[in-house]
């Protein structure tokens, strides 16, 4: 992660999202090919809030991966089950769960999901 120092700050415009194409093999079509850009400008730009104000951060391109087996799949299935149980609860039961929620910042739904996970993993 590198912090980008803008030459001139504009109130109406800022650098955000992807600029350029990721480095890699690119695309190949008959009589045409397009490869990634190898320059210092290409990357993912984000505006982040810090104590001193907003800063612009540039990151390298990345390709996210998604696990389809193991503990992540087990947690995903557990979450689906918890949501299904919450949706099948009566309104009276949901209101009781909301009333017993000790956290002000957390909704009754999120509190139920938290408790569901705690009961499963204990």
Read off the pLDDT of residues 31-65 as tens digits, 9 standing for 90 and up.
555 555 556 677 788 888 888 888 888 887 777 77
Counting beta carbons within 10 angstroms of the beta carbon of residue 7, is it exposed (0 to 12), middle (13 to 18) or buried (19 or more)? exposed
Quote the number of domains for the chain. 2
Q: Residues 77, 55: one domain?
A: no
What are the tens digits of pLDDT across the range 67-113?
Answer: 777 888 888 999 999 999 999 999 999 999 999 999 989 999 999 99
Specify if 18 maps to a domain: yes
Would the pLDDT of 25 be above 80? Answer: no
Based on the fold, state whether residues 6 and 55 are members of the same structural domain: yes
Q: Which domain holds residue 95?
A: 71-121
Is 0.75 surpassed by the pTM of this model? no
């Amino acid at each position: 992660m590198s912090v980008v120092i803008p030459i001139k700050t504009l109130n109406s415009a800022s650098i955000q999202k992807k600029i350029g194409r990721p480095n890699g093999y690119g695309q190949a079509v008959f009589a045409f090919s397009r490869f990634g850009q190898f320059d210092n400008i290409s990357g993912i730009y984000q505006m982040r809030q810090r104590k001193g104000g907003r800063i612009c951060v540039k990151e390298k391109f990345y390709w996210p991966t998604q696990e389809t087996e193991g503990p992540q799949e087990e947690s995903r299935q557990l979450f689906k089950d918890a949501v299904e149980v919450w949706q099948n609860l009566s309104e009276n039961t949901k209101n009781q769960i909301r009333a017993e929620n000790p956290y002000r910042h957390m909704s009754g739904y999120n509190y139920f999901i938290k408790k569901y996970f705690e009961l499963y993993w204990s």
